[in-house]
């Protein structure tokens, strides 16, 4: 899989953006402020969100601009969410390089687009969740202050997110499940092989203990 990703990365050439996560975070903040202070019958989110019917009518920018739709309406929640997105996105870009980070996000956008075409509704929520899990895989012992007081390693929060994801998949329709899994396509491509061998080694160790 690494060879496949390396070939895709080389094909990108010079067509990548440095500081991509900063652009996405500032874009989300801008859309949130426009929605907050200039809310009318049609908001900025309405014009940028994924809408299958409107995309088929020619509004193709929605295939990309949906990533700028903020999650939530509380200013405090948005502030900490965007800060966290910036933190993990910048860390991944520093670890992989701008080109590979762009590749990850581009594959995620394409996956979310395909999922949106299945269900009629697209969101960047699961793509951003996949970024968090990617960060947790690379930096499992990174600590954050939960409620600004309790230090918690990121891997434990990742376990909760995986449980949340399993819960969501259980109750979604088949089209919804496909949409979620397509948003996780870059995570599977980047980490699937490694996670498979980790699970295999863990199974082998458990058998030996028995």
Q: How far apart are CA 138 and CA 134, in angstroms?
A: 6
Taking 70 as the threshold, does the pLDDT of residue 134 lie above it?
A: yes
Helix axes 2-12, 185-209, angle to 10 degrees: 160
Q: How far apart are CA 7 and CA 27, in angstroms?
A: 30
**What is the structure's pLDDT at 127?**
93
More reliable by pLDDT, 165 or 11: 165
139-196 pLDDT, tens per residue? 999 988 776 678 889 999 999 999 989 988 888 888 888 888 999 999 999 998 776 6
Taking 70 as the threshold, does the pLDDT of residue 202 lie above it?
A: no
**Mean pLDDT across 32-40:** 84
Q: How far apart are CA 36 and CA 116, in angstroms?
A: 26
Taking 90 as the threshold, does the pLDDT of residue 77 lie above it?
A: no
Query: Containing H/E element for 206?
Result: helix 185-209
Minimum mean pLDDT range among 78-82, 125-129, 135-139, 199-203: 199-203
DSSP letter (8 states) at residue 144: E
Taking 80 as the threshold, does the pLDDT of residue 111 lie above it?
A: yes
DSSP SS3 for 167: helix
**What is the structure's pLDDT at 207?**
66
**Mean pLDDT across 23-41:** 89
Predicted TM-score (pTM) of the model is: 0.88
């Amino acid at each position: 899989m690494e060879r496949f990703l390396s070939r895709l990365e080389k094909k990108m050439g010079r067509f990548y953006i440095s500081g991509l996560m900063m652009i996405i975070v500032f874009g989300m903040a801008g859309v949130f402020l426009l929605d907050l202070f200039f809310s009318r019958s049609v908001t900025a989110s309405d014009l940028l969100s994924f809408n299958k019917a409107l995309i088929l009518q020619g509004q193709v920018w929605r295939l990309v601009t949906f990533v700028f739709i903020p999650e939530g309406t509380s200013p405090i929640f948005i502030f900490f969410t965007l800060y966290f997105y910036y933190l993990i996105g910048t860390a991944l870009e520093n670890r992989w390089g701008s080109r590979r980070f762009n590749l990850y996000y581009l594959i995620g956008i394409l996956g979310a687009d395909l999922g949106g075409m299945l269900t009629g509704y697209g969101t960047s929520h699961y793509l951003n969740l996949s970024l968090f899990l990617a960060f947790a895989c690379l930096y499992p012992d990174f600590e954050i202050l939960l409620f600004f007081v309790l230090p918690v390693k990121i891997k434990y929060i990742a376990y909760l997110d995986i449980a949340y994801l399993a819960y969501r998949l259980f109750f979604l329709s088949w089209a919804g499940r496909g949409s979620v899994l397509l948003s996780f396509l870059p995570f599977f491509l980047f980490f699937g092989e490694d996670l498979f061998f980790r699970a295999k080694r863990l199974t082998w160790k458990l058998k030996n203990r028995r």
